[in-house]
Amino acid sequence: MSSSPYAPAGNILNQIIKTKKGLKAVAYNKDGELTCSKTAYAQSSHVLQHKPLLDKILREVPVDANNKGLLYILLYELLMGPNRAIRGGGALKRQLLKQQEQLQATLFRLQPSFANMTASSPDQSSSDYVTIPRYVRVNTIVSSMEQVLSQIDAKTKPSKNNKNKKKTKKPSLQDSSSSSKMPRYVDPHVPNVLVFPPTASTRANLQELVKSQQVVLQDKSSCFSALCMVHGFDTLPSMEGDFLDACAAPGNKTCHLAALLTEQAAAAASTTTTTTSKSSSSKRASSVVVHALDKSKDRFELLQRRMKELTETPPRDGDAKKNKVTTVECHNADFLSIDPETDETFSNVTAIMLDPSCSGSGMISNHQEAMDRDPLSKPKNFDRIESLSNFQFQALQHATSAFPKVQRVVYSTCSVYVQENEGVVQRLLESSSSSSSSSNDGNDGGEWELVAPKCLDHWHRRGLEHPDVVGLSPEQLQCLIRVNPEEDGTNGFFVACLQRKAANKAPKKKKKKMIGAKKNTYEKPLATMGMELYDNQFNKDDNSTGKEEKEETSTVLSSSAVTTMSNQKSSGKMKNDDDSSSKKKRKAEGDKEGDEEESNIVSKKRAKKMEWKKKQREKKLLRLAKQEQQANNSSEQ
């Protein structure tokens, strides 16, 4: 057995290679507990992110090794690790050191950006990498933004008494808070979402809050589904009907939906109390049901446990009624076999959130898809994508046709491929159009229509034009939300909000009676509690905090390093409404000329940077060649 300090990570990698499973599947047990050290997990994750590049290097410079997992780890440490060095000893290390120069020269040729890095600049801090921050959603059923922040500050405040304690690094972010506070921002698109640097210390500082169910570590884009369900449409959802999360496990979106509905019910109840205190609406508001379905038995168990913890933990403010407002009922069932006509449990469902199994190609941690993330090209694993797409369509069709009372459906995936996104929506609209013979409204036919989500009207990346999806009009594409994992600082995502057309034609009188028919007066997040809105601060050159200790899943190669998503026709970038931002001052929202001007400036800057990098690379190679020459000379002497 190897005594190398990298042996545990090497073993994990060997298991991944042998079983072809993902890192999480190998490193976690059934109960969701990590079975190896965090260090081994992080090391394996770093290697997996760079495995395609490491493979290329090894193809050009073969290294003889029986222990492939260990080879990957040592090679990564030597060429790309934070110290560009291998700790400990061993035959494999000696072998690699012998071939070091050749390996390094190959790396610089294949991935020139590495030539500009010094040993003290870890690979992830290269400008070829985009940082995905750590997003934290405050679980408003249990806690609040204020409570969460005060607990974080209490935890991170350096103790005055303990002078021997390790000095904490001074945050270099221009956070409005004092330097002793953990750097944090407010997400500009999703309320109650905080943004932290993606470091191990962030995670450590949040651990207690996660355990006490006050926060959920949920990526920003994954919050779009529930947000759209409640605040995406012109009216708030009816609280008289039930909600259904059709593919719910592990339940992040379900819990978010429950929290938003609880907030909505609380707002409705407070309005009701001030107007008609004996109104029955407050009664109704206290019995919102969210059915959470999952077909997989294991995942269902996880879902059930998490929903109990996240939605039934007593609120910190002592308002015991709060977590009785929304009840989450979990069901281990196949969504496709649910028939509300015969199963009374689901007969009152009026809204469906559908987040079906997908390729996960938008997830930055999905190393297998990392080299194949161009949504415009045909996916390499086309057959798999096609079969996923067929299932997704079937599920969306079921949601829109089998539930007569359903008025709104929010469809989402964390895939970047059009086949799983725009393609599924187009098929649905086409099938809905052909099956609806009664439609004579002069519109494009069909019972269902797309809605541009109100809550994301300041999100600029929209549906993609693609030769395979010719059936969607520019207006329809504008209704679709896309997230580019390389440019938007969050995992790739897609959301479509569908509304039954008949919902618009409901008699006005009836509409008025429903609590949910209230106009949606959603307001996007504003900077609160002295915090700035997040505007990519963790990726800016002048901000180094968070780069010293990146978490394993927090980085993704940018377009220049891996694939080009920049040719996406929808060029929307994440924007915020922070008036102090100079970018914002330069252009008004929606100003296309301004957008083009900015993209020209960006291209020029990029070209200049590339030129500079090229020169640096040449210098480095020259230096290496000189060193090699000197080494040869001295060995000849």
Collapsing DSSP to helix, strand or coil, 501 comes out as: helix
In the complex, what is the shortest distance from the CB of residue 431 to ligand SAM, in angstroms, rounded to a whole number?
18
- What span, in angstroms and rounded, lies between the C-alpha atoms of 310 and 291? 15
Report the residue from 96, 247, 469, 565 that binds ligand SAM according to the rule CB under 6 A.
247
Q: Which residues of 263-292 are buried (b: 16+ CB within 10 A; e: fewer)?
A: bbbbebbeebeeeeeebebbebbbebbbbb
Site string for ligand SAM, 277-316 (x = CB under 6 A): ----------------xxxx--x-----------------
The one segment of 63-71, 142-150, 334-342, 462-470 that binds ligand SAM by CB under 6 A = 334-342
The packing angle between helices 91-98 and 68-79, to 10°, is: 50
Only segment of 153-161, 247-255, 261-269, 309-317 that touches ligand SAM (CB under 6 A): 247-255
* 251 among annotated binding-site residues: yes
Cα–Cα separations (whole angstroms), residue 391 to 114, 192, 359, 417: 42, 33, 12, 15
List all residues 6 or more positions away from 532 whose beta carbon is below 8 Å from its beta carbon.
175, 176, 185, 186, 578, 580
Between 212 and 296, whose beta carbon lies closer to ligand SAM? 296
Question: For residue 228, which of 187, 265, 189 has the smallest C-alpha distance?
Answer: 189
- Pick from 196, 233, 243, 335 the residue near ligand SAM by CB under 6 A: 335
Q: Which is nearer to ligand SAM, 74 or 498 (CB)?
A: 498
- Please name which of 146, 244, 214 lies closest in space to residue 186, comparing C-alpha atoms: 146
- Is there a binding annotation on residue 253? yes
Alpha-carbon distance 451 to 457, whole Å? Answer: 11
Applying CB under 6 A, what is the total number of residues that bind ligand SAM? 19
Task: Say if residue 24 carries a ligand binding annotation.
Answer: no
Please list the active-site residues: 414
Residue 295 CB, shortest distance to ligand SAM, in Å, is: 4
CB of 279 to ligand SAM, least distance (A): 34
Q: Flag whether 457 is marked binding.
A: no
Binding of ligand SAM by 356 (CB under 6 A): yes
Q: Is position 247 annotated in a ligand binding site?
A: yes
Among 55, 334, 341, 343, binds ligand SAM (CB under 6 A): 334
> Given the complex with ligand SAM, which of 47 and 353 has the nearer CB atom?
353
- Segment 336 to 355, residues that bind ligand SAM, using CB under 6 A: 336, 355
Considering beta carbons, is residue 459 or 493 the nearer one to ligand SAM?
Answer: 493
Contact indicator for 249, 538 with CB cutoff of 8 Å:
no
Are the beta carbons of 326 and 261 closer than 8 angstroms? Answer: yes
Q: Which of 347, 357, 436, 566 binds ligand SAM (CB under 6 A)?
A: 357
Phi, psi of 186 (to 5 degrees): -105, 135
Output 81 or 492, the one with its CB closest to ligand SAM.
492
- What are the φ and ψ backbone dihedral angles of 383, each rounded to 5 degrees? -60, -40
User: CB under 6 A: which stretch of 97-105, 244-252, 373-381, 619-627 binds ligand SAM?
Assistant: 244-252
Please report how close the Cβ of residue 384 comes to ligand SAM at its closest, in angstroms: 15
Residues making up the chain, counted from first to last: 637
CB of 242 to ligand SAM, least distance (A): 16
C-alpha pair distances (Å), 553 with each of 289, 360, 366, 525: 35, 14, 9, 27
- Cβ-proximal residue to ligand SAM, closest one: 247
Binding region for ligand SAM (CB under 6 A) out of 48-56, 184-192, 328-336, 416-424: 328-336
The single residue among 249, 325, 410, 429 that binds ligand SAM, judged by CB under 6 A, is: 249
Region of 81-89, 249-257, 416-424, 573-581 interacting with ligand SAM (CB under 6 A):
249-257
DSSP labels, 482-497: EE-TTTSSS--EEEEE
Q: From residue 408, how far is each of 244, 392, 411, 479 by CA, in Å?
A: 11, 17, 10, 14
| DSSP state string for 184-205 | -EE-SSSTTEEEE--BHHHHHH
Least distance (Å) between residue 300 CB and ligand SAM: 8
Which is nearest to 220 in space by CA: 536, 543, 532? 536
Site membership for ligand SAM, residue 363 (CB under 6 A) = no
Q: State the angle between helix axes of 38-60 and 7-19 in degrees (0 to 180), rounded to the nearest 10.
A: 70
- At its nearest, how many Å lie between ligand SAM and the CB of residue 322? 22
Where do we find the tokens 């221009």?
A: 174
Site for ligand SAM in 250-279 (CB under 6 A): 250-253
Q: Of 249 and 325, which CB lies nearer to ligand SAM in the complex structure?
A: 249
Q: Whole-number minimum distance, CB 436 to ligand SAM, in Å?
A: 25
Distances (CA, A) of 542 to 82, 127, 545, 601: 20, 12, 9, 19
Part in contact with ligand SAM (CB under 6 A); list of ranges 129-137, 243-251, 309-317, 486-494? 243-251
Out of 199, 221, 222, 311, which residue is the one contacting ligand SAM (CB under 6 A)? Answer: 222
Nearer to ligand SAM among residue 252 and residue 543 (C-beta): 252
Instruction: Output the smallest distance, CB 20 to ligand SAM, in A.
Output: 19
Instruction: Give the three-class secondary structure for 242.
Output: strand
Q: Is 248 annotated for ligand binding? A: yes
Rounded CA-CA distance 18/312 in Å is 41
Only segment of 88-96, 329-337, 377-385, 562-570 that touches ligand SAM (CB under 6 A): 329-337
Place of tokens 């469906």: 352
Q: Does 248 bind ligand SAM (CB under 6 A)?
A: yes
**Omega before residue 340 within 30° of 0, cis:** no
End-to-end CA distance of the chain: 41
> CA distances (Å), 599 to each of 210, 458, 465, 564, 566, in order?
39, 18, 19, 15, 11
Token output for 402:
């089998």
The structure tokens listed for 297 are 């038995």
Residue 245 in marked binding region: no
Based on CB atoms, which residue is closest to ligand SAM, 201 or 415?
415
CA atoms within 13 A on the CB side of 571: 15
441 among annotated binding-site residues: no
Judged by beta carbon, residue 219 or residue 374, the one nearer ligand SAM is 219
- Shortest Cβ distance from residue 247 to ligand SAM (Å)? 3
Q: Which is nearer to ligand SAM, 203 or 299 (CB)?
A: 299
Chain residues in the site for ligand SAM (CB under 6 A): 222, 247-253, 293-296, 299, 334-336, 355-357
Binding residues for S-adenosyl-L-methionine, as ranges, are 247-253, 294, 334, 355
